[in-house]
């Protein structure tokens, strides 16, 4: 599904952040990417989704065999790549439901499916809310406007559920959440696991992995993946801290 080879990238007109990333993610797999602050985790997420401001200097990223880096951000999204934002953006005056319907219909058009009218959409929303066991209190508000940190992350998970991506990249979706919000988000992620869908969880802490069991865990440090392993690697990191990278890197 996703195959990254020797990826180097820098901030536009700035220093190099990624220094040769190799990563392969198969359908159905959940990969966790952990690492200390400044290791390049969010940069990797941004580059996969097409965030402006970065420059890839070397290497390749294939998504379903296509050159991911040649696609614009919206093309990637319509092709089934979803990024859950670390800091979701407020869009004043735009109704959350209206926004999501516009997004869903853009994705559906790409998939060759019929667009949903307001009634059909509402029905789909209700079903999904029930499935994820989350409330409908955010639906009629402006996109992320005045949302608490937890509400924003919950909204990201809900959008992901509605858009049904093939590859979901979650950028520190667990950061800043209290334990109840964390459970809710983790529950959403688990419900969305499927044999067709791959997920990349980017996280600083191990605690999300107490609720979501990854197939693979990678440790990113100074722009490189320095360790890979199964879920036990996360537990070890938790015990020894990122200081253990001192001897690995």
Partner 1 sequence: MTSPDDSLETVRSLTGEGYKYGFVSDIESESAPPGLSDDIIRFISGKKHEPQWLLDWRLEAFHHWQKMESPNWAKLKIAPIDYQAATYYSAPKKAAGPKSLDEVDPELLKTYEKLGIPLNERAALAGVAVDAVFDSVSVATTFKAKLGELGIIFCSFGEAVREHPELVRKYLGSVVPQGDNFFAALNSAVFSDGSFVYVPPGLRCPMELSTYFRINAAKSGQFERTLIICDKGSYVSYLEGCTAPQRDENQLHAAVVELVALEDAEIKYSTVQNWYPGDAEGRGGIYNFVTKRGACRGDRAKISWTQVETGSAITWKYPSCILEGEDSVGAFYSVAITNNLQQADTGTKMIHMGRNSSSTIISKGISAGRGQNTYRGLVRVQPKAQNARNYTQCDSLLIGARCGAHTVPYIEVRNPSARVEHEATTSKISDEQMFYCQQRGLSKEDALSLIVNGFCKEVLKELPMEFAVEAQKLLAVSLEGSVG
**Rounded least distance, CB 78 to partner 1, Å:** 5
Long-range contacts: 231-235, Cβ < 8 Å, 24+?
234/32, 234/34, 234/206, 234/209, 235/206
| Region 187-216 residues binding partner 1, contact defined as CB under 8 A | none
Give the closest residue to 44 by CA, choosing from 79, 27, 64, 20.
Answer: 20
CB of 103 to partner 1, least distance (A): 4
User: Binder to partner 1 among 5, 36, 99, 124 (CB under 8 A)?
Assistant: 99
Q: What is the full DSSP assignment across 15-80?
A: -EEEEEEEEEE-TT-EEEEE--TTSSHHHHHHHHHT-TTEEEEEEEEEETTEEGGGS-HHHHHHTT
Site track 7-46 with partner 1 (rule: CB under 8 A), x = hit: -----x----------------------------------
* Structure-derived torsion over alpha carbons of residues 183, 242, 28, 66, reported in degrees to the nearest 10: 130
124 is an interface residue for partner 1 by CB under 8 A: no
Identify the sign of the CA torsion 100, 3, 12, 17.
positive
Nearest to 77 by CA among 101, 40, 104, 54: 104
- Which is closer to partner 1, CB of 83 or CB of 217? 83
Question: To the nearest whole angstrom, how small is the minimum distance from the Cβ of residue 125 to partner 1?
Answer: 15
Span interacting with partner 1, options 16-24, 101-109, 129-137, 221-229, rule CB under 8 A: 101-109
Nearer to partner 1, 5 or 108 (CB): 108
Q: Binding residue for partner 1 (CB under 8 A) from 5, 19, 36, 73?
A: 73
Instruction: Choose one: 85-93, 191-199, 210-218, 228-236; the region binding partner 1 (CB under 8 A).
Output: 85-93
Which residue from 239, 246, 208, 248 is spatially nearest to 33, judged by alpha carbons? 208
User: Of 14-22, 86-94, 215-223, 226-234, which segment contacts partner 1 by CB under 8 A?
Assistant: 86-94
Residue 86's nearest CA partner among 147, 156, 39 is: 156
The least CB distance from residue 126 to partner 1, in Å, is: 20
- Interacting residues with partner 1 (CB under 8 A): 12, 49-56, 72-74, 76-78, 82-83, 85, 88-89, 91-94, 99-100, 102-104, 106-107, 110, 142-143, 159, 163
């Amino acid at each position: 599904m996703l195959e990254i080879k020797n990826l180097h990238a820098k901030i536009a007109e700035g220093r190099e952040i990624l220094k040769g990333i190799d990563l392969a993610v198969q359908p159905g797999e959940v990969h966790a990417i952990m690492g200390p602050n400044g290791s390049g985790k969010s940069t990797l997420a941004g580059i996969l989704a097409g965030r402006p401001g970065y420059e890839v200097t070397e290497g390749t990223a294939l998504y379903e065999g296509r050159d991911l880096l040649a696609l614009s951000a919206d093309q990637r999204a319509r092709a089934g790549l979803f990024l859950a934002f670390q800091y979701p953006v407020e869009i004043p005056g735009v109704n959350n439901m209206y926004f999501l319907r516009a997004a869903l219909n853009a994705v559906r058009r790409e998939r060759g499916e019929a667009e949903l009218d307001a009634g059909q959409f509402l029905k789909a929303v209700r079903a999904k809310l029930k499935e994820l066991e989350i409330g409908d209190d955010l639906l009629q508000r402006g996109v992320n406007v005045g949302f608490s940190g937890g509400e924003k992350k919950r909204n990201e998970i809900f959008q992901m559920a509605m858009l049904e991506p093939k590859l979901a990249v979650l950028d520190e979706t667990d950061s800043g959440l209290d334990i109840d919000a964390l459970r809710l988000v983790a529950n959403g992620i688990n419900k969305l696991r499927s044999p067709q869908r791959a997920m990349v969880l980017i996280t600083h802490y191990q605690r999300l992995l107490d609720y979501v069991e990854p197939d693979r865990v990678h440790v990113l440090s100074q722009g490189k993946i320095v360790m890979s392993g199964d879920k036990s690697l996360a537990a070890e990191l938790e015990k020894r801290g990122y200081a253990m990278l001192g001897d690995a890197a």
